[in-house]
Amino acid sequence: MMKTLLLALFLAFGFSAAAFTGPDTLRLSLPQVVEMAKSNSIAAKQAITVKETKYWEWRTFKSNYQPQLALEGILPGYNKSYTQVLQPNGTILFQPVHNDNSSLTMNFKQSIAATGGTIYGTTQLQRFVDFDRHNVLYNGIPYGLGYTQPLLQFNSLKWDKKIEPLKFDESKQAYIEAQEKISITVTEYFFDLLLAQVNLSIADTNLENTQRILTIANTKFELGKIAKNEILQLQLEQLNAQKAVGTAKRDMEIATLNLRSYIGIEGEDRIVLDMPTAVKQMTVATEKVLEEAFANRSDAIAFVRRIAEAKRDVAKAKGENGLTATLRANLGFSNAANNAFDVYRSPKSQQSVQLQLSVPILDWGRSKSRSKTAEANEKFTTYAVEQDKQTFKQQIVTQVTLFNMMKEQLQLTAEAEKIAAEKYKIASERYVLGNLSITDLSIAFQENDRAKRDYVSSLKDFWGAYYQLRYLSLYDFEKNQKITYQ
């Protein structure tokens, strides 16, 4: 009978996820959970929306450098009313007006980024019908060309051409970072649930073992081999084990709901998580992580963009101070006739050249103040970027060190778990044989539980550090390639 009890006791010691399996069980690994979160989570959908927004902003920017063609018109321009008419003697008479003044215009515009100027063209046809006098007139511009050139002014097109591509590249890398941030977040939820499942398994196993040991202890008590105090101690352990089972079930339900909600799993299937293993073959060098981070991260692109924006602001402040001028030149043909076709026969040439000036005479140092403010902001931005670069580097160096420490820590906790499990097994056997006190068995019992939890916590720290490293460098150190998403 004693051998049978021992065998049953030893079979209950090991933790196995099979306790959770069943017909309505969904078994998931860490990579599967990460991929589900990247596909289905609200955070993933938000990242895609931001990516699309930045793409269309980029398309809008590109369109500023493409030819623009627009058709405008007044069709019809019908009017029947009384209007005031100034007479030669200075008096005003109100005369009836009944006409249709319609027009159609097609305009062409092309910006020139190098100079900030604009080439434009137009063709126009106007038709005027006087219903009272039964008169029809046409006026038109067969074609006209013009050029507008700001002189000594800020060229926004030139600076946008430098900065907007940086913003677009920054947004593309920010999307990859958002995906990797999802990995970090869902890893937390994964291990919260995994630890809850481990705790529930431990609690169930401990309750079962405590009940069996109590059965053995009752037999010993009846034989007079142990005192009543040990029975009371085991009964207390049984009550504590029952409470632990209830607490573990509650924690597992909460962790399951959190994970299910984040990764977007619907249904009532029980989720069972596979225990992940460490990536032992992966080696991470600080120099490699720094190289990839400065090549891939949106922050690295933002460093360049922020300096460019500061220089742009200086150029804008200087361009809007002092003498400003705009040159406008037009060349084309126009004509008027009694029918539409005659408008295009022998049109008369028209030209115009205009130079518009603006010279501040007295501004009490306003122009100089704006320029100096922009220059001071440029210096501040330069220093801030240098500080952010140092912080960026330090964060990466710290994370690499932490990751390597987590690898070593995981190996130690794995060894500790094996030793604690073996110690608990031996202690249980010795207690059944009668040469170990209940206090020593309780200590071995607690050490075994703590070692299992410590191992899961070390796994959580390792994989959290791993995904944090991916996020900081946007580099896959398992596959030795840059991280990309479609």
Q: State the pLDDT confidence band at 337, using cuts at 50, 70 and 90.
A: confident
What was the pLDDT predicted at 441? 73
Is the pLDDT assigned to residue 3 strictly greater than 90?
A: no
What was the pLDDT predicted at 185? 95
How far is CA 301 from each of CA 171, 174, 304, rounded to the nearest angstrom? 10, 10, 5
What was the pLDDT predicted at 424? 80
Token output for 482 = 């840059």
What was the pLDDT predicted at 11? 34
Of 53, 41, 174, 47, the C-alpha closest to 483 is 174
Count of beta carbons in the 10 Å neighbourhood of residue 339: 11
**What mean pLDDT do residues 416-430 have?**
84
CA distance 486 to 480: 19
Among 151-165, 206-220, 403-417, the range scoring the smallest mean pLDDT is 206-220
**What mean pLDDT do residues 250-274 have?**
89
Is the pLDDT assigned to residue 105 strictly greater than 50?
A: yes
On whether the CB atoms of residues 144 and 328 are closer than 8 A, the answer is no
CA atoms within 13 A on the CB side of 198: 20
Return the exposure string of 146-174: e unless at least 16 CB atoms fall within 10 Å of the residue's CB, then b. Answer: bebbbeebbbbbebbeebbebbbbbbbbb
Is the pLDDT assigned to residue 320 strictly greater than 50?
A: yes
Q: What is the pLDDT of residues 129-146, one digit of tens each?
A: 999 888 999 999 998 999
CA distance 35 to 28: 11
Q: What is the pLDDT of residues 31-86, one digit of tens each?
A: 999 999 999 999 999 999 999 999 999 999 999 999 999 999 998 999 999 999 88
Per-residue 3-state assignment (H helix, E strand, C coil) for 362-389: CCCCHHHHHHHHHHHHHHHHHHHHHHHH
What was the pLDDT predicted at 261? 92
Q: State the pLDDT confidence band at 280, using cuts at 50, 70 and 90.
A: low
User: For all residues of the chain together, what is the average pLDDT?
Assistant: 87
CA distance 174 to 166: 12
What was the pLDDT predicted at 219? 78
**What mean pLDDT do residues 278-303 have?**
88
Is the pLDDT assigned to residue 20 strictly greater than 50?
A: no
How far is CA 424 from each of CA 56, 118, 446, 448, rounded to the nearest angstrom? 63, 84, 9, 6
What was the pLDDT predicted at 479? 86
Of 98, 97, 107, 101, the C-alpha closest to 139 is 101
On whether the CB atoms of residues 157 and 116 are closer than 8 A, the answer is yes
CA distance 201 to 195: 10
Q: State the pLDDT confidence band at 21, using cuts at 50, 70 and 90.
A: very low
Per the model's pLDDT, the better-predicted residue between 157 and 8 turns out to be 157
CA 379 to chain centre: 30
Is the pLDDT assigned to residue 6 strictly greater than 50?
A: no
Is the pLDDT assigned to residue 298 strictly greater than 90?
A: yes
Handedness of CA 291, 297, 301, 304 (dihedral sign): negative
What was the pLDDT predicted at 92? 92
Q: What is the share, in percent, of the chain residues with pLDDT greater than 70?
A: 94
Range ranked top by mean pLDDT from 141-150, 264-273, 314-323: 141-150
Is the pLDDT assigned to residue 14 strictly greater than 60?
A: no
Beta bridge pairs of residue 28: 273
**What mean pLDDT do residues 260-273 have?**
87
CA distance 457 to 449: 12
* End-to-end C-alpha distance for the chain, whole angstroms: 65
Is the pLDDT assigned to residue 7 strictly greater than 50?
A: no
Element (H, E) at 293: helix 286-296
Q: State the pLDDT confidence band at 233, using cuts at 50, 70 and 90.
A: confident
Query: DSSP per residue over 177-206, as a string?
Result: HHHHHHHHHHHHHHHHHHHHHHHHHHHHHH
What was the pLDDT predicted at 15? 34
- Beta strand pairing status for 118-130 and 135-151? antiparallel
Query: DSSP per residue over 215-277, as a string?
Result: HHHHHHHHTTSS-HHHHHHHHHHHHHHHHHHHHHHHHHHHHHHHHHHHHT--S-PEEEEPPP-
Is the pLDDT assigned to residue 431 strictly greater than 90?
A: no
pTM of the predicted protein model: 0.81
CA distance 9 to 215: 11
Token output for 14 = 């090991």
Per the model's pLDDT, the better-predicted residue between 240 and 17 turns out to be 240
Q: What is the pLDDT of residues 49-62, one digit of tens each?
A: 999 999 999 999 99
Amino acid at 55: Y
Per the model's pLDDT, the better-predicted residue between 198 and 233 turns out to be 198
What was the pLDDT predicted at 438? 66
How far is CA 133 from each of CA 88, 97, 98, 337, 341, rounded to the nearest angstrom? 21, 10, 9, 17, 22
